[in-house]
């Protein structure tokens, strides 16, 4: 088996430019690797036209860094004529008739979509075990999960099947699996990337982002994905910028805050100790790191449960068995068509969240739960703004523990949320956040550092992340 996919994107690009290899070579290698690593269960669908698509690029001169590079797309992002299931029985035969805006951008850059990555059903979960197609496994230890909800994207990149993947992050679903599998995962600022064609879970929180092996490749891929889109009215118009521009800069003078909560007793000691070592290192290199008090961080899971379940119950009302997807048999009325289709089509986690979400939004409950959550959400956002008056970045561990064993959180509706306790606050405020690997624990499992930036300050996050990556190397 060839080993081109183990090279950096820059090295692969040079080989393509020099015509020493072709996009088809890369695709063949990725497909062989996927076949050999079938047990990882990283993909729900492999693109059976990808060889053909790669062949058409054979005579074309590479025009950008990502030309001809295979990429995995999380299966809640629609791809024209390529099955998109959201890891749910209710969509297990759904063939989209259009491309998501990010998919259009990826195709314009002539990247090759190798397949659709496994995930938690409708991105609801933190271990990808709610997938209708079974859980993807962690390449570092196949008895462990690769996290969620973008677990298949994480397994695919960490397992070396593809160098790049897209994930989505509603409450940590890019950063947490990146941490569990030792990858760089960025949740960009809300509005940075168009959500058009992302099957909505919680619309005010969802954001698409890149999952990669290195900081540089992450920033370079983000360059391609961003931009205002008239099809997503929450996408934001910004001056074009190069997210790689601060990579390699030194960090002297950077002002960094570490909230006490992020190294409190909720975090595994081995992880807190590793974070404390990083802090010493940063100080040594001239960065200012203050340990600070920050309010409302401990409320974020509670807010997330209310806001995400409420928005999900509304968004998932569209799955009614009429226009697309699965429809139950033996129905005698429209009402029974809705209820039976949804009862048979959704898995347990999704059912729980839609039921609680419907309850949250019904009658007076909307005031008690939803409105109150939006008020505290405003407070937590202002608290971030207060910290960011004095600091460039906020850091902490991405997760409270390393990747758990398979089956540990399954069917525990509470634990599933607690896996994301450190990453959820970022979604509340719409801020950018990134996981960068910071070594392994005594069992050889990856530990991740979480870097949070001001709105639209992704380039500053990459500056610190690249410094840490370099030191870790």
Partner 1 sequence: MDKLTREEVLHVAHLARISLTEEEIEKFRGELKILMDDIDKIKEIKDFDEEMMYTPVDGNARLREDEIGDMLSAKDATINAPKKNGSFIEVPVMINE
| Catalytic (active-site) positions | 74, 149, 173
**Within 6-45, which residues bind partner 1 (CB under 8 A)?**
none
Q: Which is nearer to partner 1, 148 or 182 (CB)?
A: 148
Q: How far is the CB of 342 from partner 1 (least distance, A)?
A: 5
Site string for partner 1, 316-335 (x = CB under 8 A): -x--xxxxxxxx---xxxxx
Q: How far apart are CA 104 and CA 110, in angstroms?
A: 10
Candidate segments 137-145, 147-155, 158-166, 305-313, binder of partner 1 by CB under 8 A: 305-313
Q: Which is nearer to partner 1, 22 or 455 (CB)?
A: 455
Site string for partner 1, 415-444 (x = CB under 8 A): --x-----------xxx-------------
One residue of 46, 281, 376, 440 binding partner 1 per CB under 8 A: 376
Q: Which is nearer to partner 1, 15 or 331 (CB)?
A: 331
Site string for partner 1, 140-179 (x = CB under 8 A): ----------------------------------------
Nearest to 130 by CA among 111, 109, 145: 145
Strands 43-46, 112-117: pairing kind = antiparallel
Q: How far apart are CA 465 and CA 436, in angstroms?
A: 6
Nearest to 43 by CA among 162, 123, 175: 162
Q: How far apart are CA 202 and CA 198, in angstroms?
A: 11
Q: Which is nearer to partner 1, 82 or 247 (CB)?
A: 82
The dihedral built from the CA positions of residue 101, 106, 107 and 113, taken in this order, carries a sign that is: negative
Q: How far apart are CA 73 and CA 84, in angstroms?
A: 10
Nearest to 264 by CA among 275, 279, 256: 275
Candidate segments 31-39, 57-65, 273-281, 410-418, binder of partner 1 by CB under 8 A: 410-418
Q: How far apart are CA 76 and CA 120, in angstroms?
A: 10
Q: Which is nearer to partner 1, 314 or 441 (CB)?
A: 314
Q: How far is the CB of 402 from partner 1 (least distance, A)?
A: 25
Strands 164-168, 70-74: pairing kind = parallel
**Within 54-113, which residues bind partner 1 (CB under 8 A)?**
93-95, 97
Q: How far apart are CA 421 and CA 427, in angstroms?
A: 11
According to the binding rule CB under 8 A, does residue 201 interact with partner 1? no
């Amino acid at each position: 088996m060839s080993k081109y996919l183990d090279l950096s994107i820059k090295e692969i690009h040079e080989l393509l430019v020099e015509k020493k290899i072709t996009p088809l070579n890369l695709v063949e290698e990725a497909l062989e690797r996927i076949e050999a690593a079938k047990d990882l269960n990283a993909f729900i669908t492999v693109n059976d036209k990808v060889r053909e698509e790669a062949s058409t690029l054979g005579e074309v001169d590479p025009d950008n860094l990502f030309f001809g590079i295979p990429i995995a797309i999380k299966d809640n992002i629609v791809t024209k004529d390529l099955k998109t299931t959201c890891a749910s029985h209710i969509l297990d035969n759904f063939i989209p008739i259009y491309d998501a805006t990010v998919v259009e951008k990826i195709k314009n850059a002539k990247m090759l979509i190798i397949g659709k990555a496994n995930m938690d059903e409708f991105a609801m979960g933190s271990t990808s075990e709610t997938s209708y197609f079974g859980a993807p496994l962690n390449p570092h230890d196949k008895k462990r999960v690769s996290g969620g909800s973008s677990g298949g994207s994480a397994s695919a990149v960490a397992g070396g099947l593809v160098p790049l993947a897209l994930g989505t992050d509603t409450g940590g679903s890019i950063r947490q699996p990146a941490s569990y599998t030792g990858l760089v995962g960025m949740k960009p600022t809300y509005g940075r990337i168009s959500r058009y064609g992302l099957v909505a879970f919680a619309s005010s929180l969802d954001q698409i982002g890149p999952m990669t092996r290195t900081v540089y490749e992450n920033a370079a891929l983000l360059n391609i994905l961003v931009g205002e889109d008239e099809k997503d009215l929450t996408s934001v118009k910004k001056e074009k910028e190069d997210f790689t521009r601060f990579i390699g800069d030194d960090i002297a003078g950077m002002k960094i805050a570490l909230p006490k909560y992020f190294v409190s007793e909720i975090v595994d000691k081995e992880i807190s100790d590793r974070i404390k070592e990083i802090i010493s290192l940063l100080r040594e290199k001239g960065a200012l790191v203050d340990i600070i008090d920050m309010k409302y961080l401990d409320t974020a899971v509670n807010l997330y449960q209310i806001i995400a379940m409420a928005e999900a119950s509304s968004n998932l009302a569209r799955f009614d068995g009429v226009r697309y997807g699965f429809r139950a048999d033996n129905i005698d009325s429209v009402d029974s068509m809705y209820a039976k289709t949804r009862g048979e089509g959704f898995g347990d986690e999704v059912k729980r969240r839609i039921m609680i979400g419907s309850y949250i939004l019904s009658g007076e409950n909307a005031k008690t739960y939803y409105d109150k959550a939006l008020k505290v959400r405003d407070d937590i956002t202002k608290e971030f703004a207060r910290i960011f008056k004095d600091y460039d970045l906020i850091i902490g561990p991405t997760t409270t523990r390393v990747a758990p064993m398979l089956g540990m959180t399954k069917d525990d509706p509470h634990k599933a949320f607690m896996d994301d306790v450190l990453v959820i606050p970022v979604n509340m405020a719409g801020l950018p956040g990134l996981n960068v690997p910071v070594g392994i624990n005594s069992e050889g499992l990856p530990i991740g550092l979480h870097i949070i930036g001001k709105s639209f300050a992704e380039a500053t996050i990459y500056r610190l992340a690249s410094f840490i990556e370099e030191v870790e190397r």
